[in-house]
């Protein structure tokens, strides 16, 4: 019971921090999520931990999700992540001897599906910044097969998810989330004589994901294609439109923007930065130490969720000490309003 309350309390906290991290979040196909039964949520993976955090905030279902084993190294962190239903997924880079630990994790996943629970898996097996679906790994298919072999009457639905960001690294970015139509996994598996390549189910899921996000197959000319799409005003948040534009890329003409839009909120942006100068300076210092650039928004999420509110609370106490509680509350509320104004009205350049 306590763990259940903790999970949903932390989910509320995550939703609040995401509100201040993202300029806009638009969701499509939420009606495709089954209210009951075993479900695998499978999404593309272009924004590190942010991808994993967004999905559970969009459904009432309690979700368990696999995360790379590297973040579970410290015992205290491992215990904390476990309370949030996170399970470690080991890869070859984590050491061959650790690969056997995946069997125990997969067994846990089997029991979750057997009990009509929900799992979140990023089947690409790694995060990346490229606007494409890279070849899917077999892990999710092995979990399904193991579940059906052990519990053949279990019906398992797969929900493909397209996570689309207008910017993976800059702040504040917009995101659109597309939940695809459910895929009943059972017909794709022969439990008596299984196809261990899992080619059919992998092909099906990959094909659906490519409809829900921009998929640039051409690796050789990737940068050139991205440049042309952006010069032609591509909307990354609309995967159908973006993929249609991609298919007609050779006939596209660049858009010439003559008028520069004036952002009337710039004075408020400046005031917000002045009011937050110390946490901003600390963030810029911490940002230099991020080894993998794809984790930029993950660290930004942590800073927004801890450092900024702590700073405002301390400042409020100082105002209270110098003046009174009324001025302290006015300062605190004003800081929150300035933060919201900046996040929801600031514009960012393309990456």
Which of these, 40, 71, 59, 56, lies nearest to 139 by C-alpha position? 40
For the chain, what percent of residues have pLDDT higher than 90? 70
Rounded to an integer, what distance in angstroms lies between the CA atom of residue 289 and that of residue 225? 31
**pLDDT for residue 73 is more than 70:** no
- pLDDT computed for residue 105 by the predictor: 83
Question: Is 35 in the same domain as 149?
Answer: yes
Cβ atoms of residues 51 and 43 within 8 Å: yes
Tell me whether residue 234 is in a domain: yes
Higher pLDDT, 212 or 91: 212
The bridge status of strand 86-89 relative to strand 156-165 is: unpaired
pLDDT of 58 strictly over 90: yes
Please count the other Cβ atoms lying within 10 Å of the Cβ belonging to residue 198.
Answer: 21
In a domain, 317, yes or no: yes
Global pTM value? 0.91
Write the CA distances from 233 to 25, 78, 215, 243, 348, integer angstroms. 20, 43, 17, 13, 15
The label of the residue with tokens 């409809």 reads 211
- 53 within some domain: yes
Structural domain of residue 78, as residue ranges? 2-212
Number of domains composing the chain = 3
Q: Are 46 and 78 found together in one domain? A: yes
* Averaged confidence pLDDT in the chain: 90
Residues 21 and 73 in one domain: yes
Same domain? 299 vs 337: yes
Q: Predicted confidence band at 8 (pLDDT cuts at 50, 70, 90)?
A: confident
Does a structural domain hold residue 261? no
Residue 90 located in a structural domain: yes
Of 256, 281, 313, at which residue does a domain stop? 256
| 201 and 335 assigned to the same domain | no
203 lies in the same domain as 121: yes
pLDDT over 60 at 333, yes or no: yes
d(CA 110, CA 119): 10
**Nearest-CA neighbor of 40 among 107, 110, 132, 91?**
110
Task: Confirm whether 182 is domain-assigned.
Answer: yes
Listed in sequence order, the DSSP H helices in the chain are 2-21, 48-54, 75-83, 101-114, 139-150, 199-212, 222-231, 239-247, 266-275, 277-287, 296-322, 325-345
Q: What CATH number is associated with residue 203? A: 3.40.1130.10
Q: How confident is the model at residue 91 (pLDDT cuts 50, 70, 90)?
A: low
Q: Is the same domain home to 175 and 252? A: no
- Residues 204 and 130 placed together within one structural domain of the fold: yes
Please indicate, yes or no, if residue 49 is contained in any of the structural domains: yes
State whether 326 and 242 are in the same domain: no
350 domain-assigned: no
- % of the chain surpassing 70 pLDDT: 91
pLDDT in tens, 20-54: 999 999 999 999 999 999 999 999 999 988 998 99
Same domain membership, residue 93 and residue 16: yes
Q: Give the residues across from 177 on adjacent strands.
A: 27, 163
Q: Rounded to whole angstroms, how far apart are CA atoms 152 and 119?
A: 18
Nearest to residue 119, comparing CAs of 158, 65, 49, 53? 65
191 and 221 in a common domain:
no
Shared-domain flag, residues 331 and 191:
no
Which residue is associated with the tokens 């928004």?
297
Question: Would you say residue 96 has pLDDT above 70?
Answer: no
Residue 262 per-residue DSSP state: P
SS3 at position 125: coil
CA 70 to chain CA centroid, Å, is 18
Nearest partner of 120 among 147, 91, 159, judged by Cα = 159
The residues near 209 (Cβ < 8 Å, ≥ 6 apart) are 42, 43, 44, 133, 160, 161, 162, 180, 215
How many Cα neighbours within 13 Å face the side chain of 141? 23
């Amino acid at each position: 019971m306590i763990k259940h309350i903790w999970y949903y309390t932390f989910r509320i906290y995550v939703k609040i921090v995401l509100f201040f991290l993202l300029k806009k979040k638009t969701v499509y196909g939420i009606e495709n999520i089954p209210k009951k039964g075993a479900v695998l949520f499978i999404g593309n993976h272009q924004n590190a931990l942010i991808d994993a955090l967004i999905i559970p905030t969009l459904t009432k279902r309690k979700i368990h999700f696999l995360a790379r084993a590297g973040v579970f190294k410290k015992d205290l962190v491992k215990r904390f992540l476990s309370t949030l239903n996170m399970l470690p997924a080991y890869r070859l880079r984590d050491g061959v001897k650790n690969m056997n630990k995946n069997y125990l994790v997969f067994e846990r996943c089997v029991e979750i599906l057997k009990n009509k629970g929900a799992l979140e898996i990023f089947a690409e097996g790694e995060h990346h910044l490229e606007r494409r679906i890279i070849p899917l790994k077999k892990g999710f298919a092995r979990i399904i097969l193991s579940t059906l072999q052990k519990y053949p009457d279990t019906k398992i639905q797969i929900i493909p998810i397209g996570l689309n960001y207008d910017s993976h690294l800059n702040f504040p970015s917009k995101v659109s989330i597309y939940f695809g139509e459910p895929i009943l996994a059972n017909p794709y598996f022969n439990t008596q004589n299984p196809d261990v390549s899992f080619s059919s189910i992998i092909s099906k899921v990959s094909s659906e994901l490519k409809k829900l996000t921009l998929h640039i197959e051409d690796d050789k000319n990737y940068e050139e294609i991205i440049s042309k799409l952006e010069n032609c005003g591509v909307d990354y948040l609309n995967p159908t439109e973006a993929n249609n534009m991609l298919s007609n890329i050779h006939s596209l003409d660049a858009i010439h923007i003559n008028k520069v839009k004036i952002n009337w909120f710039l004075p408020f942006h400046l005031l917000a930065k002045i009011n937050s100068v110390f946490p901003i300076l600390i963030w810029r210092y911490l940002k230099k130490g991020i080894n993998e650039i794809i984790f930029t928004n993950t660290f930004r999420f942590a800073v927004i969720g801890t450092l900024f509110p702590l700073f405002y609370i301390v400042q409020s106490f100082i105002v209270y000490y110098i003046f009174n509680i009324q001025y302290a509350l006015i300062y605190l509320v004003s800081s929150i309003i300035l933060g919201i104004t900046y996040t929801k009205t600031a514009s960012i350049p393309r990456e």
